[in-house]
Amino acid sequence: MSVQDEFSFINSITPKKYKQPHLVAGIGDDAALYSGNHNVEEIVCIDTMIEEVHFNRQTMRPFHIGYKALASNISDIAAMGGVPNFYLVSIAIPKHWSDSELLEIYNGMEALADRYQMDLIGGDTVSSKHSLVITVTVIGRVHKGKHLLRKNAKADDIVFVTGSLGDSAAGLELLLKNGVDFNFSKDEQALITRHQLPEPKVEIGEILAKYPRVALNDVSDGIASELNEVASASDVTIVIEAEKLPKSDPITSFSEDKQLHWMLNGGEDYELVGTVSKENWLKIKKECEQKNYSITKIGYVIEGPAQVLIKQGDHMKLLQKQGFNHFK
Ligand code: ADP
Ligand code: MG
């Protein structure tokens, strides 16, 4: 690797100061230590990003790579109703990455970690022949018994999603076409930012965790996939209405076909999608409105086989995990 030596690299990314009071020992020993707590459940998740598979230099700057690798994990914590506390980073580095680019990857993670008072508490540094591989582990917490599972959906619930859908996929198309250095319009830049610097919805997850029996998933693969997972885990039929899917203004400059395809299958929006009882939906909607968090009702749950149906005008069709092509 181009890093002079592993030890000075680790030194350069070791935090000067830690923020989480329950951390006992961070980077510098054989493993990190933090103290447990009887009132919480610990949440842990991991995600890997590989150069040329999940990103390339055409679409992401080093800062974005670090930011997004951490964001996708934080989003998983949010989807459990929890808050993130710690992260660990394993990085496999090929020769063509410079020291300053690697530090930028860590700066990207730090920018997001600061927002949630998260500490970097460990990792691993190795060399790689061709592609940069970055694996991030996040540890978080949720109040005991308040975690949100995919299996919680029941008939008569409503289906909701936060924010807007499809923007990340639209941003990716612009980046693949023009490259990261292109002079994008303001609208285009908004879509690109959603691809490069997605915002996990931790605060909304915390609101949802206050209510009983919310089923929740984060939108990493697209709602077609996420809702099929909820339907399977809960053994219910989920119905969504195409006209109700929330979209941003900038995405409307693309064809209707592309918009719908991206909203259903685009993924990487890192919004939250789930179900809740009608009664609690009204309370959640009100609380989110007061705090200016966007959340939209997009459908409902009925008894039936584990599947997702999409209503478009008078037509009702099966929405499969992939293969949205049937629809075009
Ligand atoms: P060991 O040989 O005991 O695994 P290492 O030299 O791999 O020790 O790591 C030393 C310390 O630096 C450990 O606390 C480890 O968690 C941390 N560390 C190593 N690589 C990274 C990295 N890429 N990012 C964050 N922390 C790291
Ligand atoms: Mg090691």
Judge if the beta carbon of residue 89 lies within 6 A of ligand 1: yes
State mean pLDDT over 56-76: 97
Residue nearest to atom 19 of ligand 1 (CA): 124
190 and 295 assigned to the same domain? yes
Q: Which ligand is nearest to the CA of 31?
A: 1
Specify if 326 maps to a domain: no
Q: Are 215 and 153 in contact (CB under 8 A)?
A: yes
166 and 304 assigned to the same domain? yes
Please state, in angstroms and rounded to a whole number, the distance separating the CA atoms of residues 16 and 96: 28
Specify if 80 maps to a domain: yes
The CATH code of the domain that includes 126 is 3.30.1330.10
Q: Which residues make beta-bridge pairs with 40?
A: 143
Helix%, strand%, coil% for the chain, nearest 5: 35, 25, 35
Q: What is the mean pLDDT of the chain?
A: 95
Q: Strand runs (DSSP E) across 144-214, as ranges?
A: 158-162
The predicted structure's pLDDT at residue 77:
98
Q: Flag whether pLDDT at 250 surpasses 50.
A: yes
Judge if the beta carbon of residue 27 lies within 6 A of ligand 1: yes
Written as one string, the DSSP assignment of 77-133 is HHTTT-EEEEEEEEEEE-TT--HHHHHHHHHHHHHHHHHTT-EEEEEEEEE-SS--E
Last residue of a domain, one of 111, 143, 175: 143
Domain count, the chain: 2
pLDDT for 148-165, tens place per residue? 999 999 999 999 999 999
Q: Which residues make beta-bridge pairs with 99?
A: none
The CATH code of the domain that includes 215 is 3.90.650.10
216 and 295 assigned to the same domain? yes
Q: Flag whether pLDDT at 3 surpasses 80.
A: no
18 and 161 assigned to the same domain? no
Query: At 273, phi and psi to the nearest 5?
Result: -130, 140
Encoded tokens for 193: 């930012």
The predicted structure's pLDDT at residue 120:
98
118 and 166 assigned to the same domain? no
Last residue of a domain, one of 143, 177, 209: 143
Residues 6+ apart with CB under 8 A from 225: 265, 267, 321, 322
Judge if the beta carbon of residue 72 lies within 6 A of ligand 1: no
Distance in Å, CA 123 to ligand 2 centroid: 7
pLDDT for 97-148, tens place per residue? 999 999 999 999 999 999 999 999 999 999 999 999 999 999 999 999 999 9
Give the closest residue to 122 by CA, choosing from 218, 31, 4.
31
132 and 154 assigned to the same domain? no
The predicted structure's pLDDT at residue 4:
65
Q: Flag whether pLDDT at 327 surpasses 50.
A: no
- Cβ neighbours, 10 Å, residue 270: 24
The predicted structure's pLDDT at residue 11:
93
Closest atom of ligand 1 to CA, residue 26: 14
Q: How far is the CA of 187 from the CAs of 13, 171, 203, 269, in angstroms?
A: 35, 10, 26, 17
Q: Which residues make beta-bridge pairs with 44?
A: 139
Please state, in angstroms and rounded to a whole number, the distance separating the CA atoms of residues 33 and 83: 18
Specify if 323 maps to a domain: no
Q: Flag whether pLDDT at 220 surpasses 70.
A: yes
Closest atom of ligand 1 to CA, residue 89: 24
Closest atom of ligand 1 to CA, residue 122: 16
Distance of alpha carbon 145 from its chain centroid, rounded? 23
Judge if the beta carbon of residue 91 lies within 6 A of ligand 1: yes
Q: Are 99 and 164 in contact (CB under 8 A)?
A: no
The residue with greater pLDDT, 167 or 327, is 167
Q: Which domain holds residue 287?
A: 150-318
pLDDT for 19-65, tens place per residue? 999 999 999 999 999 999 999 999 999 999 999 999 999 999 999 99
Judge if the beta carbon of residue 125 lies within 6 A of ligand 1: yes
Helix (H) or strand (E) holding 40: strand 40-50
Q: Which residues make beta-bridge pairs with 122?
A: 88
18-22, 278-282, 320-324: range with lowest mean pLDDT: 320-324
Residues 6+ apart with CB under 8 A from 127: 1, 92, 93, 94, 95
Residues above pLDDT 70, as percent of the chain: 97
Q: Which ligand is nearest to the CA of 9?
A: 1
Residue nearest to atom 3 of ligand 1 (CA): 30
Closest atom of ligand 1 to CA, residue 120: 25
Q: Are 241 and 299 in contact (CB under 8 A)?
A: yes
Give the closest residue to 156 by CA, choosing from 296, 245, 305, 275.
275
Specify if 324 maps to a domain: no
249 and 157 assigned to the same domain? yes
Q: Are 110 and 67 in contact (CB under 8 A)?
A: no
Give the closest residue to 109 by CA, choosing from 80, 84, 128.
84
The predicted structure's pLDDT at residue 325:
43
Encoded tokens for 58: 């055409």
Encoded tokens for 229: 């997972």
Q: Flag whether pLDDT at 7 surpasses 90.
A: no
Kindly indicate the confidence band of residue 326, based on its pLDDT and cuts at 50, 70 and 90.
Answer: very low
51 and 137 assigned to the same domain? yes
156 and 47 assigned to the same domain? no
Judge if the beta carbon of residue 23 lies within 6 A of ligand 1: no
304 and 172 assigned to the same domain? yes
Residue nearest to atom 7 of ligand 1 (CA): 124
